Amino acid sequence: MTCEELEKLAAKNADLINVRKIVREQAEKLAQNTGYRKQVLVCGGTGCTSSHSLDVIAQLEKSFKELKIDDVLIVKTGCFGLCALGPIMIVYPEGAFYSQMTPEHAKTVAEKHLIKGGEIVKELLYADTVHEDGSVIPFAEIPFYKHQMRIALRNCGVIAAESVEEAIAAGDYKALKKALFEMTPESVIDEIKKAGLRGRGGAGFPTGLKWQFTKDAVGDKKYVCCNADEGDPGAFMDRSVLEGDPHCVLEAMSIAGYAIGAEEGYIYVRAEYPIAVERLNIAIEQARKLGLLGKNILGSNFSFDIHIRLGAGAFVCGEETALIASVEGKRGEPRPKPPFPANSGIFHKPTVINNVETWANIAPIILNGANWFASIGTERSKGTKVFAVGGKIRNVGLVEVPMGTTLKTIIEDIGGGIPDGKSFKAAQTGGPSGGCIPAKYIDIAMDFDNLTSIGSMMGSGGLIVMDEDTCMVDIAKFYLEFTADESCGKCTPCRIGTKRLLEILTKITEGKGEPEDLEKIKEIAEHMKSSSLCALGQSAPNPVLSAMEHFGDEYKAHIYDKKCPAGVCKSLLSYYINPDKCRGCTLCMRSCPANAISGSVRNPHEIDLKKCIKCGQCIAHCKFGAITKK
């Protein structure tokens, strides 16, 4: 297609998208131009499809046929971010936010709301969107969305995820056009450099510099690579971008190809993300068909094409040199740097590798300019960051906020706080490479440097919230189980170090810890940090080191007092029956598989601690809350 055709296509569907973006009164007017009285957006991301959002769509289609509704558009979008409430369904132009939908609910909404003259079904709306006086708040104005600033996720949950027409109408490929016809490769790189964009995958290296190095490197062929091997357990922003707006990644990679002089790109994506893989394949086919990938893109001299490579479940492949080995069809083992991928990457050619979220920021920078982007965020961390907020928090989901937003805003205002009346203990960022932020730092402004200064790291943006019931020794052990399992085994410090650290931590959680263990952990950690081959081994000790720093007392309690203050480590717990609460119903006695409980009917029972296997069956069966573990 030519530039004019691209513009025409964008203009044709522009109002369709605008209805979903602006305030109600205007949206209603705009809706009249689109030919659709209403639009129903249903989330088709992994979270919501897992809770059967596709059945909701099927029911809507069925109901529309029965009710003869033909002027309401059903749109299957990517992730809206508020995954805890899935399946999510939003009706425009009202912006009515229906949550936890079932096919039954969909039928009701079709019959009462979507038919001509229908009214919003308030009982099915997300409770926070209904005022006490009964008026309805559009979903964009609830606290979860109000504090966010969506750049990388700009189109997620806004456009139909499998429609190139809607992607174009929402602005995709406009930046590519601008780069190809109004900018030189040098000025593209300068813009990215000036914007101060840093890689969102973990290390935070300046993206513009990476591009510059690759452009300057000598090579007959160069490659652009997208790292979509999102391995940090609990982080899923990359998946959401690929599922919700795959074209934005293709566009950004093409822009990089133009800037550094590459004609080929690879997307290395986890095989665990089947929906993302499928949408990427669809998007690549669509782009090729329209001439947005392939020879002479938009009638220019620039040619570029993209291939997909599937990972196969190896965390280490998120490391760039390991990823390159895997793209080449080898074992995904890292190699020493230098040479850096910018000089010797895929098939030994100069290669620029960026993570998905980084790519998602490229087009807005090109379109709105470096100054705009640099005006957002903190001094050394520009723009926004997407956090995958999970664990013990009410609004589990994806949150995009300006760099420098405080942890408190994310957890309390956006996340809705900790459920069940529990208190906030710590947040883990950076996954198995990061560390924890204890409650006393809740006012920390989240950016690359602040997190590093307190012994954690930004990482890819996983943010796991922990409450008083989480044991910090157990959680450090959990991360070491992960890294010990995922260590590729190539270099000794990582292979042996993770194993030894895990053994020591296991010992501590079993009540066999010794005072010198804490010193041993520090010594092994130092060696791993200084001599491991890649970032996996270098950062593997971080979770235990930061937990020891911030929760030293908890480690000491395990080692000296043989107690687990959070009540998690099984070997350190004892079960007791409170004689004042026990009614002598015998339920616990009968449920105990070890016959450790004795007593007669209507008299308080007792647990023989020598026989008790600490399985917790008695607690589960007691109806009077008489059994505690200490």
By the criterion CB under 8 A, which residues form the site for other proteins?
46-47, 50-51, 82-86, 230-236, 239, 271-273, 309-315, 326-333, 347, 388, 390-392, 396-397, 428, 431, 462, 464, 466, 470, 475, 478-479, 488
Which residue's CB is nearer to other proteins, number 44 or number 462?
Answer: 462
C-alpha R_g of the chain? 27
| Cβ at position 373, least distance to other proteins in Å | 27
For the four alpha carbons of 466, 471, 473 and 479, in that order, the dihedral sign comes to negative
- Output the smallest distance, CB 297 to other proteins, in A: 23
Judged by beta carbon, residue 19 or residue 153, the one nearer other proteins is 153
Q: Which is nearer to other proteins, 31 or 398 (CB)?
A: 398
In the complex, minimum distance from the CB of residue 465 to other proteins, in angstroms, rounded to a whole number? 8
The three-class DSSP label of residue 175 is: helix
Please list, in sequence order, all residues whose beta carbon lies within 8 angstroms of the beta carbon of residue 362, skipping any fewer than 6 positions away: 175, 192, 197, 251, 252, 255, 256
340 or 479: CB nearest other proteins: 479
Question: Which residue, 208 or 397, has its beta carbon nearer to other proteins?
Answer: 397
Instruction: Report the candidate in 81, 84, 77 with the shortest Cα–Cα distance to residue 39.
Output: 77
CB 517 within 8 Å of CB 504? yes
Helix or strand holding residue 132 (H, E): none
Closest of 362, 323, 361 to residue 341, by C-alpha: 323
Crossing angle of helices 517-531 and 492-509, rounded to 10°: 160
Q: Which is nearer to other proteins, 362 or 533 (CB)?
A: 533
CA distance 321 to 471: 35
Minimal distance, residue 311 CB to other proteins, in Å: 8
**Minimum distance, C-beta of residue 97 to other proteins, in the bound complex (Å):** 15
Minimum distance, C-beta of residue 434 to other proteins, in the bound complex (Å): 11
Q: Which is nearer to other proteins, 177 or 309 (CB)?
A: 309
Q: Considering beta carbons, is residue 87 or 599 the nearer one to other proteins? A: 87
Q: Kindly give, in sequence order, each residue whose CB lies less than 8 Å from that of residue 118, ignoring residues fewer than 6 positions away.
A: 111, 112
| H helix or E strand, kind and range, residue 450 | helix 448-453
- Helix (H) or strand (E) holding 533, with range, is none
Contact 555, 548 (CB under 8 A): yes
Rounded CA-CA distance 115/68 in Å is 9
- Least distance from other proteins to the Cβ atom of residue 42, Å: 16
For residues 58 and 106, what is the distance between their CA atoms, to the nearest angstrom?
Answer: 9
Contact call for residues 362 and 255 (beta carbons, < 8 A): yes
Single-letter amino acid code for the residue at 174: K
Residue 433 CB, shortest distance to other proteins, in Å, is 12
Nearer to other proteins, 179 or 569 (CB): 569
Amino acid at 305: D
Least distance between other proteins and beta carbon 391 (Å): 4
Could you tell me the smallest distance in angstroms from the CB atom of residue 427 to other proteins? 11
Q: Are 137 and 131 in contact (CB under 8 A)?
A: yes
In the complex, the smallest distance separating the C-beta of residue 547 from other proteins, rounded to whole angstroms, is 14
Nearer to other proteins, 76 or 309 (CB): 309
Count of CA atoms in the C-beta half-sphere (13 A) of 447: 17
Q: For residue 564, how far is the Cα from the chain centroid? A: 31
Using the minimum distance from each CB to other proteins, give the nearer residue, 478 or 576: 478
CA atoms of 546 and 593, how far apart (whole Å): 39
For residue 10, give every residue at least 6 positions away whose Cβ sits within 8 Å of its Cβ, in sequence order, or none.
Answer: 168, 169, 171, 174
DSSP-based three-state secondary structure for 307: strand
As a whole number of angstroms, the distance between CA 535 and CA 245 comes to: 30
Min. distance of Cβ 479 from other proteins in angstroms?
8
Angstrom CA distances, 97 to 40, 86, 110, 128, 398, stand at 10, 11, 14, 9, 17
Return the number of the residue (169 or 458) whose C-beta is nearest other proteins: 458
Cβ within 8 Å of residue 68, ≥6 positions away: none
Q: Are 480 and 544 spatial neighbours (Cβ–Cβ below 8 Å)? A: yes
Q: Which of 212, 539 has the CB closer to other proteins? A: 539
Residue 365 Cβ vs other proteins, minimum distance, rounded to whole Å: 27
